[in-house]
Chains A and B, each alone.
Chain A
Amino acid sequence: MIAFEKASFGYDGHPVLEDVSLTLEAGGFYFLTGPSGSGKTTFLKLCSLALLPRGGRVAFFGEDATLLDRDRIALMRRRMGMVHQDCQFIDHLSVRRNIALPLEIAGRRTPAADKDIEDLMGWVALGHRADAYPPELSGGERQRAALARAVMLSPDLLIADEPTGNVDREMGERILSLLIELNRLGRTVLIATHDLELIRTAKREVSARVLRLADGQVRLAGHEL
């Protein structure tokens, strides 16, 4: 699905990732951990085409990232849902519009899709907040709204950066169960987190693989967790 081949990245010469080679398999459930500042967000940005590797290559569905033009990047992003660490919305549009926006952009908003939108908002338990505006949402509600928007186009890959970062344990587990449910539907899931408890909880439900990021290298973690 996404293949890193000796990919490197750094900001202004200060390296973050060095010669990373790994493949995210379709249908896999991945956790990405590592100390704060180790480069988790950077890695996810490479996975969502927000950054391009400075060396080596990253391929999406077999296509080299550096060779994609802006329109291809946009089309590629419709195949992957992204939940950022700081969920961005369009503040003057209702939560419902925000969640439905990927459909509108893809030109797939039909009357028939309205029911899907309502279902999706029920799935993340935001049905009652559909007519609110993003600045009125709590941190957890924002995370869930971002998750709903990310899966609106039924993407092949879902990427989430600290999706449980600013919610309590109960809400964190609720979000996790939504992600596990997605994975059971065949979607690939990649989550950056430093919440080891969350990883343990997940491992009871799915065969999650844990990638550890340290010193610019990404390694598949053993069974120490």
Chain B
Amino acid sequence: MLALLRGDPSADSTVPPSGATGHLTTLAAAAMALLALIAIAAAQTAGRVADDWAGALDGAATLEIAADPATAETAAERALMILRETPGIDSARRIGADEARALLAPWMGDTSMLADADLPLMLAVEEAPELDRAALELRLAGEFDDAVYLRHDRWSGTVTAAAGRLRLLALGALALTFVVTAAVVTLAARAALAMNRPVIATLRLIGAQDSYIARAFVRRFTLRTLLGAALGTGAGTALLLALASGGALPAAAPTGPAGWLALLAVPPAFGLLAFAATRAAAFHELRRVR
């Protein structure tokens, strides 16, 4: 692989430069790398959301009450009282404005501009197994006009499942970018090999082994793909960071070394893919020339 990057001036120059096909390969690799980056970011975000929800919401519930600011305080106190005297409730507390903002942040972006009054009245509840939930919900419905008791494990399951599916979808898209890149490189390499069949025949005639002939093509397409993938990764990273810092999609930016590593792995992965694809194409095509 290293020898490949260094190159063999002899083998390289025996194949004439291929112009437009080469630029198209670079362009396709760049586009695919950009898409791969978006897919990776989507997979990471979906994975993170699923993990957060699954971990934080286990056994927990939220009571959300629509109340205008004037009655919110009394409503909160009455709700707390009801909850505390219900058997099967381990604990209940009011969720403060700051905490509510933090909970909403992943979904709404910058929440600092939300006024306290805009935030719903929320209570965090820890359930014990013996809770008679139906009875509690009946009682709450009697006390308040518009109370929603959300048992998190009921719908956090739905959220994690949805996030999991989104993640699978993103990984599928990522795999597709690899398939398309391999296909494009294979087609371009085959076209170049077919176009250069007289050169290949001449080289074989004077005793060139397949590995010598393949080297020039493999190097060329690997470097082009690598260049394209690097450009695409650069553009993709800039795009993700812009989305994140602009507040449009705060979760878009990669988090931690693993997140960044996954992005930076795209160009070498594409390079390796191009190497394997061109090599396979070359040896396949060379078998047609004795």
The residue from B202, B207, B208 contacting A89, defined by CB atoms under 8 A apart: B202
A70-B14 contact, Cβ under 8 Å, with A88-B201, A88-B202: no
A70-B16 contact, Cβ under 8 Å, with A88-B198, A90-B199, A104-B10: no
B127 beta carbon closer than 8 Å to chain A = no
Instruction: Check if B210 sits within 8 Å of A70, measured CB to CB.
Output: yes
Count of chain B residues near A, Cβ 8 A: 21
B74 beta carbon closer than 8 Å to chain A = no
Instruction: Check if B290 sits within 8 Å of A105, measured CB to CB.
Output: no
A-side contacts of B205, CB under 8 Å:
48, 50, 77, 82, 84, 88
Interface size grouping (class) on chain A? 20 to 34
Per-position contact with A for B184-207: 1 when CB-CB < 8 Å, else 0? 000000000000001101111111
Per-position contact with B for A40-84: 1 when CB-CB < 8 Å, else 0? 000000001111000000000000000000110111011000101
Per-position contact with A for B8-22: 1 when CB-CB < 8 Å, else 0? 001001101000000
B-side contacts of A70, CB under 8 Å:
209-210, 286-287
B-side contacts of A78, CB under 8 Å:
206-207
Docked Cα-Cα span, A71 to B214, in Å, equals 13
Instruction: Check if B210 sits within 8 Å of A71, measured CB to CB.
Output: yes
B-side contacts of A149, CB under 8 Å:
206
CB proximity of A58 to chain B, nearest CB, Å: 14
CB proximity of B285 to chain A, nearest CB, Å: 13
Instruction: Check if A77 sits within 8 Å of B210, measured CB to CB.
Output: no
A153 beta carbon closer than 8 Å to chain B = yes
Docked Cα-Cα span, A90 to B201, in Å, equals 10
A-side contacts of B201, CB under 8 Å:
88
Docked Cα-Cα span, A84 to B202, in Å, equals 10
Docked Cα-Cα span, A162 to B290, in Å, equals 22
B-side contacts of A73, CB under 8 Å:
290
CB proximity of A84 to chain B, nearest CB, Å: 7
Docked Cα-Cα span, A39 to B198, in Å, equals 23
A-side contacts of B202, CB under 8 Å:
88-90
Instruction: Check if A101 sits within 8 Å of B209, measured CB to CB.
Output: no
CB proximity of B280 to chain A, nearest CB, Å: 16
Docked Cα-Cα span, A48 to B211, in Å, equals 20
Instruction: Check if B206 sits within 8 Å of A105, measured CB to CB.
Output: yes
CB proximity of A161 to chain B, nearest CB, Å: 12
Docked Cα-Cα span, A51 to B289, in Å, equals 11
Chain A residues engaging chain B, CB cutoff 8 angstroms: 48-51, 70-71, 73-75, 77-78, 82, 84, 88-90, 92-93, 97, 101-102, 104-106, 109, 149, 153
Q: Give 6 A-B contacts (CB < 8 Å), ordered by A residue.
A: A74-B204, A78-B206, A82-B205, A82-B206, A89-B202, A105-B203
Query: Which 10 pairs from chain A and chain B are nearest by CB?
Result: A78-B207, A77-B207, A104-B10, A74-B209, A88-B202, A105-B208, A102-B206, A92-B16, A74-B207, A71-B209
